[in-house]
Amino acid sequence: MNGPLKAAWALTVFVIVAGAVLWAVTGRAAFAVFIGLGVLTAVGAWFTGRTEGGTRRKAAPTKPASEKEIS
Protein backbone atom coordinates (compact mmCIF):
# COMPACT_ATOMS: atom_id res chain seq x y z
CA MET A 1 0.00 0.00 0.00
CA ASN A 2 1.52 3.31 -1.06
CA GLY A 3 1.25 6.75 0.54
CA PRO A 4 -1.58 8.17 -1.57
CA LEU A 5 -3.64 5.04 -1.02
CA LYS A 6 -3.13 5.27 2.75
CA ALA A 7 -4.17 8.93 2.60
CA ALA A 8 -7.33 7.97 0.69
CA TRP A 9 -8.27 5.42 3.37
CA ALA A 10 -7.54 7.92 6.16
CA LEU A 11 -9.73 10.52 4.43
CA THR A 12 -12.47 7.91 4.03
CA VAL A 13 -12.50 7.05 7.72
CA PHE A 14 -12.36 10.71 8.75
CA VAL A 15 -15.26 11.75 6.51
CA ILE A 16 -17.49 8.84 7.55
CA VAL A 17 -16.80 9.31 11.28
CA ALA A 18 -17.22 13.08 11.05
CA GLY A 19 -20.53 12.66 9.24
CA ALA A 20 -21.83 10.14 11.76
CA VAL A 21 -20.75 12.21 14.78
CA LEU A 22 -22.11 15.48 13.41
CA TRP A 23 -25.38 13.80 12.43
CA ALA A 24 -25.73 12.32 15.92
CA VAL A 25 -24.81 15.58 17.70
CA THR A 26 -26.86 18.00 15.61
CA GLY A 27 -29.68 15.70 14.53
CA ARG A 28 -29.46 17.10 10.98
CA ALA A 29 -29.72 14.42 8.32
CA ALA A 30 -27.73 16.65 5.97
CA PHE A 31 -24.57 15.13 7.46
CA ALA A 32 -25.55 11.83 5.83
CA VAL A 33 -23.95 13.38 2.74
CA PHE A 34 -20.59 13.05 4.52
CA ILE A 35 -21.23 9.34 4.99
CA GLY A 36 -22.14 9.00 1.30
CA LEU A 37 -19.01 10.84 0.21
CA GLY A 38 -16.91 8.70 2.54
CA VAL A 39 -18.34 5.54 1.01
CA LEU A 40 -17.68 6.93 -2.46
CA THR A 41 -14.07 7.65 -1.46
CA ALA A 42 -13.78 4.11 -0.07
CA VAL A 43 -14.94 2.64 -3.36
CA GLY A 44 -12.34 4.71 -5.22
CA ALA A 45 -9.59 3.66 -2.81
CA TRP A 46 -10.64 0.02 -3.08
CA PHE A 47 -10.53 0.09 -6.89
CA THR A 48 -7.18 1.89 -6.80
CA GLY A 49 -5.76 -0.72 -4.44
CA ARG A 50 -7.03 -3.59 -6.58
CA THR A 51 -5.41 -2.26 -9.75
CA GLU A 52 -2.16 -1.11 -8.13
CA GLY A 53 -0.21 -4.30 -8.90
CA GLY A 54 -1.54 -4.71 -12.42
CA THR A 55 -0.67 -1.26 -13.73
CA ARG A 56 3.04 -1.29 -13.03
CA ARG A 57 5.30 -2.15 -15.90
CA LYS A 58 8.64 -3.81 -15.56
CA ALA A 59 11.57 -1.70 -16.64
CA ALA A 60 13.37 -2.72 -19.78
CA PRO A 61 16.52 -4.67 -19.02
CA THR A 62 19.65 -2.59 -19.27
CA LYS A 63 23.02 -3.72 -20.48
CA PRO A 64 25.99 -3.55 -18.14
CA ALA A 65 28.31 -0.63 -18.78
CA SER A 66 30.91 -2.94 -20.30
CA GLU A 67 28.47 -4.09 -23.02
CA LYS A 68 27.09 -0.67 -23.98
CA GLU A 69 28.14 0.74 -27.31
CA ILE A 70 30.35 3.76 -27.04
CA SER A 71 29.91 6.28 -29.81
User: Is 62 part of a structural domain of the chain?
Assistant: no
Task: Among 18-27, 38-47, 60-69, name the most confident range.
Answer: 18-27
**CB neighbours of 8 closer than 8 A, spacing ≥ 6?**
41, 44, 45, 48
User: Is 47 part of a structural domain of the chain?
Assistant: yes
pTM of the model: 0.61
Interval 25-50: pLDDT, tens: 999 989 999 999 889 888 887 887 76
User: Is 42 part of a structural domain of the chain?
Assistant: yes
User: Is 13 part of a structural domain of the chain?
Assistant: yes
User: Is 64 part of a structural domain of the chain?
Assistant: no
Domain that holds residue 18: 3-52
User: Is 63 part of a structural domain of the chain?
Assistant: no
The whole-chain average pLDDT of the chain stands at 78
Q: How many distinct structural domains can be found in the chain?
A: 1
